[in-house]
Amino acid sequence: AQSVTQLDSHVSVSEGTPVLLRCNYSSSYSPSLFWYVQHPNKGLQLLLKYTSAATLVKGINGFEAEFKKSETSFHLTKPSAHMSDAAEYFCVVIPGGGATNKLIFGTGTLLAVQP
Amino acid sequence: EAQVTQNPRYLITVTGKKLTVTCSQNMNHEYMSWYRQDPGLGLRQIYYSMNVEVTDKGDVPEGYKVSRKEKRNFPLILESPSPNQTSLYFCASSFQGRRETQYFGPGTRLLVL
| Cβ within 8 Å of residue A75, ≥6 positions away | A20, A21, A22, A23, A65, A66
Task: Report pLDDT digits (tens) over B14-64.
Answer: 999 999 999 999 999 999 999 999 988 889 999 999 999 999 999 999 999
Q: Mind listing the pLDDT tens digit for each residue in B55-101?
A: 999 999 999 999 999 999 999 999 999 999 999 999 999 988 766 78
Of B45, B105, B106, the CB nearest to A102: B45
In angstroms, the CA B15 to CA B38 distance is 19
- Given the candidates 2.60.40.1180, 3.40.710.10, 2.70.210.12, 2.60.40.10, the CATH classification of the domain at A3-114 is 2.60.40.10
The reply to whether residue B31 touches residue A101, judged by beta carbons under 8 angstroms, is yes
Q: What is the pLDDT of residues A59-74, one digit of tens each?
A: 999 999 999 989 999 9
B 68-97 residues inside an 8 A Cβ radius of A: 90, 92, 94, 96-97
B10 touches chain A (CB under 8 A): no
